[in-house]
């Protein structure tokens, strides 16, 4: 069987990162997002009600902040802070607020089990 090659187009770029994304119909994920983190930045500060994300920190280091929330977005647990050093995989289930605090350039790859839905991207402030 021949290999499947998917070109990954850039969908967004700003001072913090470059994002490339492709949607496909393989059983492991519906959407793959590649983030080329440009430096010392925080990304995330949100949670999803429906979406499960699996992240691969392929290069770099970051602190990961997580906190469980309820259906209204209210915190139900204390903030957990973990230090991540590539390579590491993180599975983020629904109702888990998350924020990656990068200490420098990094590559973060995200597989999602559903297509992107802007109504399922809910902000969460880690204070």
pLDDT digits 0-9 by tens, 74-95 = 999 999 999 999 988 898 999 9
pLDDT tens-digit series, residues 22-46: 665 555 557 788 899 999 999 999 9
How sure is the predictor about 9, in pLDDT bands with cuts at 50, 70 and 90? Answer: confident
CATH of 10-123, one of 1.10.3210.10, 2.60.120.10, 3.30.300.20, 2.60.40.10: 2.60.120.10
The pLDDT value given to residue 6 = 55
Among 63, 54, 113, 110, CA closest to 85 = 63
**Residue 98 — left, alpha, or beta (φ > 0 → left; ψ -120 to 50 → alpha)?**
beta
How sure is the predictor about 3, in pLDDT bands with cuts at 50, 70 and 90? Answer: very low
pTM of the model: 0.80
Question: What's the N-to-C CA distance of the chain in angstroms?
Answer: 51
% of the chain beyond a pLDDT of 90: 56
The pLDDT value given to residue 24 = 57
What average pLDDT does the structure give for the chain? 86
The pLDDT value given to residue 27 = 53
Percent helix, strand and coil across the chain, each to the nearest 5: 0, 55, 40
Cα angle value 85/48/112 (rounded, 5°): 60
For residue 56, the cross-strand partners are 89, 109
């Amino acid at each position: 069987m021949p290999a499947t090659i998917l070109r990954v187009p850039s969908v967004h770029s700003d001072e913090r990162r470059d994002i490339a994304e492709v949607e496909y119909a393989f059983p492991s994920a519906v959407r793959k997002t590649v983030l080329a983190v440009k430096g010392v930045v925080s990304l995330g500060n949100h949670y999803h009600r429906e979406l499960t994300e699996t992240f691969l920190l392929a290069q770099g280091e970051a602190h990961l902040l997580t906190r469980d929330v309820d259906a209204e977005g209210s915190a139900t647990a204390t903030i957990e802070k973990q230090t991540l050093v590539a390579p590491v995989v993180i599975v983020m289930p629904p109702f888990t607020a998350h924020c990656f605090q990068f200490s420098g350039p990094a590559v973060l790859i995200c597989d999602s089990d559903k297509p992107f839905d802007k109504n399922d991207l809910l902000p969460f402030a880690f204070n």
